[in-house]
Amino acid sequence: MNINIPDKLTFKRNEVIKLTKLEGRVLDYWEKEFGGFVPTVNPTGEKFYSRKDVELILKIKHWMVVERIEKSKVKEKIKQEGEGWGVNAANVPGAGGNEGANSVGAVELKQIPRDFRDKLRIIRQNLQEILTILDKNDK
């Protein structure tokens, strides 16, 4: 399942549906079920997905459709890989890592609501992608 993802930072929902060949309701379900991606919503209610979101959606599709891995195992894979979020799995509550009191990251993450953490992760990804593009333009 090799799919060329266009060289863009964000994708409209319809673009993701065409690219992944998934129905919108499947994207909504996976968003809630796996929690690894959270599209941003503009003021008019239109959903936008980051490139990392699209990559993760394609991985989930591969794991579930091609490899026929059950949902619980897919959730574990997402947590293990961290999907480039820049978060150490040991510091993510419930990710199976060390959640001891000595871990400052774990304490900080526990104090931030999950939906807010997800939005911050998306902002961070987008900023990293912008920096990458700017670096390419400088060369």
- Give pLDDT tens digits for 62-115: 999 999 999 999 998 888 876 444 444 433 334 444 434 333 344 455 566 777
pTM to 2 decimals?
A: 0.59
Q: CA-CA distance, 8 to 104, in Å (whole number)?
A: 35
Domains of the chain, by residue range, sit at 10-138
**Residue listed under structure tokens 């959730």:** 75
Question: Selecting from 1.10.1660.10, 1.20.200.10, 3.20.20.120, 1.10.600.10, what CATH number does the domain 10-138 have?
Answer: 1.10.1660.10
Gyration radius of the chain's alpha carbons = 16
pLDDT at 36: 80
The contacts of residue 23 (CB under 8 Å, 6+ apart) are 17
pLDDT at 58: 94
Q: Is the pLDDT of residue 29 over 90?
A: yes
What size, in residues, is the chain? 139
